[in-house]
Amino acid sequence: MAKELLKRNEVKKEFTWNLEDLYADIPSWENAVREIQEIASRLEQMEGKVTESAESLYSTLSQLEEMGKKTDPAFNYAERLSDQDTGDTTHLAMSQKLRSIYTDISSRLSFIDPEILELKQETLEQYFTQQPKLEGYRKYIQEIQRLKPHHLPAEMERLLAMASEMSNVPEETFAVFNNADLKLPEMTDENGDSIRITHGRYLPLMESSDRRVRREAFEKMYQTYKQFENTLASLYSGQIRQLMFYAKARKYPSTLQAAVNRNNVSPEVYDNLVATVNANLDKMYRYVRLRKRLLQVDELHMYDVYTPIIPDASRKVPYEEAKKTILKALAPLGEDYIRLLEEGFSNRWIDVYENEGKRSGAYSAGAYGGHPYVLMNYDDSLDSMFTLAHEMGHSLHSHYSNTAQPYFYSRYKIFVAEVASTCNEILLMEYLLKNTTDTKERAYLLNHYLDSFKGTVYRQTMFAEFEKKTNAMAEAGESLTAQVLNDVYYELNSRYFGPDMVSDPEIAREWARIPHFYYNFYVYQYATGFSAAVAIARNILQEGAPAVARYKEFLSGGCSQPPVELLKIAGVDLETPRPIQDALDVFGQVLDELEKLV
């Protein structure tokens, strides 16, 4: 009989996040939601009067800020409850209720930005003089003005806001299907025991030294998705169509330009990434050849991608050991950083282990005015330790920004979201490499470093190219059927892995299980973030305190400056291909060392 996961109420409290730090109970959350609605009702009375005077503009923006400070924890509470057990319909209903309320509020208050945009600049400057507290909102107003070409009259803004709830349906439906409804099959593990494949168990199965286990997990995973590929193609096509709707409505030439402009990033940054990685595929092909040689196989298959190529060097990393190692590895970031890490580890910021119905993967979620929360599905592997360091990087980035910035400037842009998390991973890797004297362990770690590059720079850029291609196809009027998506994905996979990899037919359906394809051109930022993090981590280890100070200035920046400018503070300019090329050169250097060691 297959070993099943623990139910949520069977998980030890110490391994769950403490949502009582947000609200004592659900009635307290309901009171907060009512307060949000009351503020929204007061703000609704400002229609036609937002810019009537300096005082009315200040009153509008200060109330909007107050509402935001209450909305952040309310969303955090509902979403965390829902994610810890996606099968709990009460918590799912709370999340859906709040999303519905927020959509309604966004619709009712959609007049605010258009009224601000109608205000003459000279009058605005007078208002700053008449009400000095307005100065705190200057950058917020400037950001509204930056997007003026893409703003619409108030009635049209109201319609777009009303449509946003249904535009989330593809993402929400995929999440419910993937996390709650999809039942993956059973298989036989290395010990001859029957186990059920889950999202959390899939990677450990793919890391198995038993090739039969890897192949069986791989084939059964994609056979399952094949059963639903037409439905999933329809969902993904629906996701792109809603992006096209908003891009056209806001007068953008493409969905890609709409997505990057939202973060104040140039499309050239995206194109630089794809072009530079494609120009360095020879390094990826070298890595694939090395993997094939070390695994001693006649053919290297896609189910051989994750298994360690250094035999007998992998080991279990229990959660308690992982926390201690991470604290030592991140010590170069200073005592204040370590104190915050210890607080997160000790005070239940983290939901540690997989349970039945729990959302797959890992993330960090921050809310202004409180501590962040981290979702893990920890499995005692080296990968899980790196993931824990990664997510705590996100969390401390949120903490620094939330502490240093007023609410409107606290939320860092998605474009820089992966920098702090990946910097932590690289510092952890450098620490582990520095503290091993065992040749086999060093080779194992070097391979893990290469796998991080493969998974974050090469793989995520392949994902980014898939998004770009499929969006462009839809914009050209092509139909995105399951077969079309399979063909596009298979061609990219074959190109990125090269001639020494057998691209098994099943891999064509990998697109069908990637939740990030519903995040609106998110994945390229993993690769740009990784590249920036390589540079920052190396500066920290080489320069010490001055580089740490620059880095913490970046961490504390929130969205007070454009993201590319904030990265320049930390010493990285992503408007050029150089950081990407420099990172890929490091990949080549690590590959050189591993080839010599083995």
Active-site residues: which are they? 391
Residue 51: strand, helix, or coil: coil
- Rounded to whole angstroms, how far apart are CA atoms 547 and 25? 43
Helix 439-453 vs helix 578-597: crossing angle, to nearest 10 = 150
Cβ of 577: how many Cβ atoms within 10 Å? 19
Query: Residue 311's closest CA among 200, 201, 459, 211?
Result: 211
Q: How far is the CA of 208 from the CAs of 217, 220, 296, 354, in angstroms?
A: 10, 15, 16, 19
Provide the token pair at 372.
């962040």
Tokens of 170: 């593809």
Residue 151 CB-half CA count within 13 A: 17
What per-residue string of b and e applies to 425-438 under the rule 16 or more CB within 10 Å gives b?
bbbbbbbbbeeeee
Contact (CB, 8 A) for 511 and 398: no
Q: Backbone dihedral region of 518: left (phi > 0), alpha (psi from -120 to 50 degrees) or beta? A: alpha
Q: 541-574 as b/e, with b when 16 or more CB fall inside 10 Å?
A: eeeeeebbebbbebbbbbbbbbbbebbbebbbeb
Interatomic CA distance for residues 23 and 70, integer angstroms: 12
Specify whether the CB–CB gap between 370 and 395 falls below 8 A. Answer: no
End-to-end alpha carbon distance in the chain: 41
> Which among 492, 451, 21 has a CA at the least distance from the CA of 203?
451
* Torsion from C-alpha of 431, 436, 437, 443, nearest 10 degrees: -100
Query: Token pair of 169, please?
Result: 């349906």
Helix runs in 476-562, H state only: 482-497, 524-543, 545-555
Q: Tell me whether strands 300-301 and 501-502 are parallel, antiparallel or unpaired.
A: parallel
What is the H or E stretch that residue 441 is in? helix 439-453
Q: What is the DSSP letter of 3?
A: B
